[in-house]
Structure 1
Amino acid sequence: MSNETPYARLTPDLVLDAVTTCGLWPDGRLLALNSYENRVWQVGLEDGKPVVAKFYRPGRWSDAAILEEHAFARELADAEIPMIAALAFTGRTLLHHDGFRYALSPRHGGRAPSLESADQLEWLGRLIARIHSVGARSSFAHRGHVDRETLIAQPMRAVLASNLLPPSSTDRYRAAVERVDRAVAARYEAVGPVRNLRLHGDCHPGNVLWTDDGPHFVDLDDARTGPAVQDLWMLAHDERAMEALLEGYGSMRDFDHAELALIPALRAMRQVHYAGWIAARWHDPAFPAAFPFAAEPRWWEQHITDLHEQADELE
């Protein structure tokens, strides 16, 4: 399958055929859900609730890493944590059809959480603590880590290898990223050893759906190993919000408050990774359409400025 246009053959008919091969009967209703890394569809069924079909980007994760994602989700669900887990067909959760790897899961609706609500933040804190209690039981063998190689070095190489970064900005971009890298390394050294565990990995408001019965978590596609604070900082827009999250978290599990000093480092790494992710995926037609600003020199100028500001904060 071409890496240039990895989803060119993923037509609606192919999606429906893939669901049919699992013994389900689609009613023809398809709704594309927001996803750039993978392709995700809501598929209506004739005799039941819709399912969500997730088609994995070729080459991103190995089969073993995807199966670890599925096993972690099932482990969380079995612990009565509201996490959406993949459905199994003849004992298999990772399915194959016409060259694509995919998984089906139940469709659960919901709305974004209110990050202004202390009650909702405390609830999220309790659930994240429970996720981490399960995550600490064992380790990932095939998934990545929250580290400088993954979130700084690899994205920088992707940017430098792309045609997006203006040649006149190459040296300044490299210098900015290398400065961030040194500052992140120094911050980690200053904080000292922290406990790493299996994480959700991308715990932002878009991956939490709230209903009248409370929240549930979706999308373990970025599940990896790292410090507990990685699953908290993206939900906390200010100190008050973090206090509410930690109030809930601390009622279920101890939290090492020294990890809070890692937040600027994690934020800086995510910013470097974001630009590298766009550069690495630019050949996918969905990316120029969704992120047209990345083709403009002024965006890269601002990105370089932002990186220096992140380094200033860390230093």
Structure 2
Amino acid sequence: MSHPYDSLTPDTIIEAVESLGYLSDNRIFPLNSYENRVYQVGIEEETPLIAKFYRPERWSKEQILEEHDFIAELAEVELPAVQPVKINSCTLHEHKGFQFALFPRYGGHAPECDDADTLLQLGRLLGRIHQVGAVKPFQHRPGITIEQYATNSYRFLLESNFIPLDLVKAYQTLAEDCIKQVEAIWQSGIKPTAIRIHGDCHLGNILTRGDQFHFVDFDDSRMAPAIQDLWMFLSGDRHQQTAQLSELIGGYNEFYTFNTSELRLIEVFRTLRLMHYSAWLAKRWDDPAFPHSFTWFNTPRYWADHILELREQLAALQEAPLSLY
């Protein structure tokens, strides 16, 4: 079966970039992106550009432009968010049915989060980002909900026959228990405030060179509590995570006040991401890039490991939340 990205050939990529007035040197280098298609495109006698082709039918034009507008707001206050190139007052373009945007190329590597000073700096930057994000809500982009990320993912996987028959009962039982626990925590009196956030703020979406940071890929930007942009920096045992969290929040509170009741949501959002990720891979399995790149998915070993992760996550949901020093 054909896939929409089958028609995104090298010629189409070059034609799209050149339709905006650039002259390509025909050098194209695919970057590590699967939900969308992202390429470094060489430009004659100029620095290469990054061309991002949005997955068809995922986001509407209005939703993509809200992402771009949010990045522009951050750039206006000199926050290091890589914004799309504006051409003839537009940041979103179309070519042969694909919506696409061009970005400047930034070099760098993921930051090392075992360094206290790095965490402090990242906390400051996220505090400033959320300060801007709290000014107004998104009108078109969705939020992060238990139904969308957990319940719908669970139902999709059960109905799509991805899980081996001998593991279905174990998956069903654990997934239902995790959802019940997540719902109980969410309804336990926590009062999080949904603001505009990055949405997928893992280390791979931050580039650092020297003491400079750049936040990239706001594609999953949504309305959600601030903790969603913070918890993915935490790793290691409970003591290590507490120390990391204290540095992050210490920097964060210099610019925007963190709601400490959201600490109870760390394992909630970890659970939502875990369940959503498996369903995301399954939903994208008709895209040839996914079986090629995620060869370990949809094997009996994968589902056995996933069930073990859910069991461990259920235990984590029942533990006391992390606290600040």
TM-score normalised by length of structure 2: 0.93
TM superposition shift of 1:213: 4.3
Query: d(CA) in 1 for partners of 2:84 and 2:8?
Result: 20
1:302 aligns with: 305
1:233 is aligned, of 208, 214, 231, to 231
Query: d(CA) in 2 for partners of 1:261 and 1:97?
Result: 45
- Which 4+ runs in 1 deviate beyond 3 A? none
TM superposition shift of 1:307: 1.0
Paired letter, 1:244: E
TM superposition shift of 1:102: 0.6
Query: d(CA) in 1 for partners of 2:304 and 2:25?
Result: 49
Is the contact made by 2:191 and 2:261 (CA closer than 8 Å) also made in structure 1? no
Identity of aligned residues (%): 44
Is the contact made by 2:144 and 2:223 (CA closer than 8 Å) also made in structure 1? yes
2:186 is aligned, of 185, 188, 209, to 188
Q: Tell which deviates more after alignment, 183-192 or 161-170.
A: 161-170
TM superposition shift of 1:130: 0.4
Is the contact made by 1:191 and 1:261 (CA closer than 8 Å) also made in structure 2? no
- Residue 6 of structure 2: SS of its match in structure 1? coil
TM-score normalised by length of structure 1: 0.96
TM superposition shift of 1:24: 0.8
TM superposition shift of 1:61: 1.0
Paired letter, 1:272: M
Query: d(CA) in 1 for partners of 2:312 and 2:106?
Result: 40
Query: d(CA) in 1 for partners of 2:106 and 2:72?
Result: 16
2:173 is aligned, of 172, 175, 184, to 175
1:314 aligns with: 317
TM superposition shift of 1:235: 1.1
2:6 aligns with: 8
1:259 matched to 2:262: yes
Q: Tell which deviates more after alignment, 158-167 or 115-124.
A: 158-167
Paired letter, 2:107: G
The aligned runs of 1:144-293 (5 Å cut-off) are 144-237=142-235, 238-293=241-296
Is the contact made by 1:164 and 1:294 (CA closer than 8 Å) also made in structure 2? no
User: Deviations for 1:70-119, whole angstroms, at most 9, x for unmatched residues?
Assistant: 11111111111000111122222111101111111111111110111111
Q: Tell which deviates more after alignment, 290-299 or 230-239.
A: 290-299
User: Deviations for 1:117-176, whole angstroms, at most 9, x for unmatched residues?
Assistant: 111111110000000000000001111212102211222233223342113333332222
Query: d(CA) in 2 for partners of 1:295 and 1:201?
Result: 26
User: Deviations for 1:250-294, whole angstroms, at most 9, x for unmatched residues?
Assistant: 111211111111101111111001100101001111111222222
Listed as ranges, the gaps of 5+ residues in structure 1 are none
Query: d(CA) in 2 for partners of 1:208 and 1:135?
Result: 18
